[in-house]
Amino acid sequence: METMKNLTVACLKQVIKPRPKQSHKGIFGKILIIGGNKNMGGAVIMSASATVHAGAGLVTCATDSSNFFALHARLPEAMVVDHSDFEALTQAIKQADTIVIGPGLGLDKLAKQILKITLTAIDPTTTLIIDGSAITLLAQQNDPLRPTCQVIYTPHQVEWARLSGLALTEQLPQANQSAQQKLAAHVVLKKYHTEIYHLDNTLSRLPIGGPYMATGGMGDTLTGIIAAFMGQFKTLAPADVLDAAVYLHSAIASDLSQSKYVVLPTDIIEHLQTFMAQFS
């Protein structure tokens, strides 16, 4: 097993660059966020907001129609699709180059149908970020569908236990990497000092972040940042882009914690553009 490297601010300097003068929204990622049932609309709003503020070119939310008004009010930059309209959902999946599925999706029959459609319709060239409910749904399947595209799982430790079969006490780097390689995907294991297991067998650790980030929606915000980075920095190595996205999320929180007892996901979202500007 390779040595796990500690990430530093250098990973941001390596990825975040000035944008070309000849640019348009289509080259900075066409992102689809799938999630947000009637009870958890906030999850998809935070994920989509982070995606927009982290620089994605076009963002669409496939969500429960009860969330449309709130999404339009909070994030007019995003488009919406009713995720129970399977024809429209399939079309949105095929048009996206980066997809997030899971924030606030739920575990009911509709959620299972949405996950199946996503895994079936997705293009092999698309990047798929699987988070929250979608991880649990996959773990519950005896013979789960495995997407053929580039996949990034973003579990916390309990979700990772479900997906990998490793109890919390067994989640040591070598065992984690073995399970990750069997999944043939990147894994962002969210914990104190988050660990990132890459497809190229490299490992990264986040030495920043803290208990001031322990609040609902923090993971949804991270998935949005990851989606934005994977969508707009396509020419760079995926491992480097993923490392930078994860580091950025905690770096902003760390800065804000100097004056805040608790850092909210919306605080991080609000500061994304200004923080990224330091490197462009």
192 in a known ligand binding site? yes
Taken as a whole, the chain contains a residue count of: 280
- Structure-block tokens of residue 268: 């991080």
Distance CA 192, CA 208 (A): 9
One-letter-per-residue 3-state SS of the chain: CCCEEECCCHHHHHHCCCCCCCCCHHHHCEEEEECCCCCCHHHHHHHHHHHHHCCCCEEEEEECHHHHHHHHHHCCCCEEEECCCHHHHHHHHHHCCEEEECCCCCCCHHHHHHHHHHHHHCCCCCEEEECHHHHHHHHHCCCCCCCCCEEEECCEHHHHHHHHCCCHHHCCHHHHHHHHHHHCCEEEEECCCCEEECCCCCEEECCCCCHHHCCCCHHHHHHHHHHHHHHHCCCCCHHHHHHHHHHHHHHHHHHHCCCCCCCCHHHHHHHHHHHHHCCC
197 in a known ligand binding site? no
Q: Within 13 Å and on the Cβ side, how many CA atoms surround 267?
A: 19
104 in a known ligand binding site? yes
Distance CA 212, CA 118 (A): 34
190 in a known ligand binding site? yes
220 in a known ligand binding site? yes
Binding-site residues from annotation for AMP? 190-194, 219
Binding-site residue numbers for (6S)-NADPHX are: 43, 104, 156, 220
Residue ranges of the annotated binding site are: 43, 104, 156, 190-194, 219-220
